[in-house]
Amino acid sequence: MQVRFKLWLEEGGEQVFGEGIYELLLAVERLGSINQAARFLHMSYRQAWGHIQKTERRLGVKLLVRQVGGPAGGGARLTPEAEDMLRRYHSFCLDVGKSLNDLYARHFIHPADG
């Protein structure tokens, strides 16, 4: 057996940050556009942009700089605050994974060592 988990950050009972927005911001970072990120994740532009705006409101932080129009047809890039959030969330999830495996072993595999 192995342990699996899902985690998210909440404020006042509302989800503020989790796997969904993490993947979405990562896709915007890689593809340079909300539209392409949405397509990559099989979402509508409206859903993607709505999710980003909701997260910005709840975090109280601007996550994207949008470039409308222009020769390349516009695009979006992450703010330094969004980059920081992605980096923290990623290393947080890695540490959580390690900790959960250790705790699983302690409680279910070698309880006598715990």
Question: Within 13 Å of residue 72, how many CA atoms lie on the same side as its CB?
Answer: 8
Cβ at position 19, least distance to its own copies in Å? 11
Q: Which of 11, 23 has the CB closer to its own copies?
A: 11
**In this structure, are residues 75 and 33 in contact, taking their beta carbons and an 8 Å threshold?**
yes
Q: Give the other-Cβ count within 10 Å of 113's Cβ.
A: 7
The two tokens of residue 9 are 């950050």
Cβ at position 17, least distance to its own copies in Å? 8
Q: Which of 47, 99 has the CB closer to its own copies?
A: 99
Cβ at position 64, least distance to its own copies in Å? 20
Cβ at position 10, least distance to its own copies in Å? 5
Three-class HEC string of 28-44: HHHHCCHHHHHHHCCCC
The two tokens of residue 14 are 């509302």
**Residue with the two structure tokens 């959580």:** 96
Q: Which of 9, 26 has the CB closer to its own copies?
A: 9
Binding positions for its own copies, rule: CB under 8 A? 1-11, 15-17, 88-89, 91-92, 95-96, 99-100, 103-104, 106-108, 111
